[in-house]
Every structure is written in structure tokens, then in C-alpha cells.
Amino acid sequence: MPEYDLQDPTDLDIMRGQFDMYTAEDWQEYIELAEERSIGYKNVKILKTAQRKAGISKYLSPKVINWVLNLVEELDNEDEEE
């Protein structure tokens, strides 16, 4: 995943667009995968927050969106390696 500048409005728009592409069902799959792999309580909790806010990224801070997108990429990469 590219490094985003959380102060750059263009990067924020890109991050929000990527976040909004995921549906609540997509987030549920990531939550289940995260719980399977025991990646930590805080990470699972933030994925559940993302599920509740699916499609409405404007209610999440840039830091949270960045954190969630990094988790998604990490889970996807681990999935490809198996």
C-alpha cells in the first residue's frame, strides 16, 4: 500500500474512496479473518468500527482510515501467502 500524506487533501480523498468501496459484508469477512489469526483486540475492534461506518468514511478520522486500510492489506497479503 502506498504511503499517504494525512495532511494532503488529495491523498485523503483517495483513502476515503478506497474505504468506501468496502461493504459491511466485506468488513465482516475481514473481521472473521482477523479473529482467526488473533491479530489483537484493538485491530479487531477497529475493523468492527469500519464495518459500522461502511460507505460513510466522512465520519472517520484520516488516521483511523489509514489504520484500517493497512490492516486490510496485511490480511490480504497473508491470505495470498497461504
pLDDT tens track for 44-60 = 999 999 999 999 999 99
For 21-79, what is each residue's pLDDT tens digit? 999 999 999 999 999 999 999 999 999 999 999 999 999 999 999 999 999 999 998 76
Whole-model pTM over 0.85: yes
Q: Among candidates 34, 2, 17, which has minimal Cα distance to 49?
A: 34
Q: How far apart are CA 59 and CA 66, in angstroms?
A: 13
C-alpha cell at 73: 492489506
3-state helix, strand, coil in the chain (%, to 5): 75, 0, 25
The domains of the chain are located at: 20-81
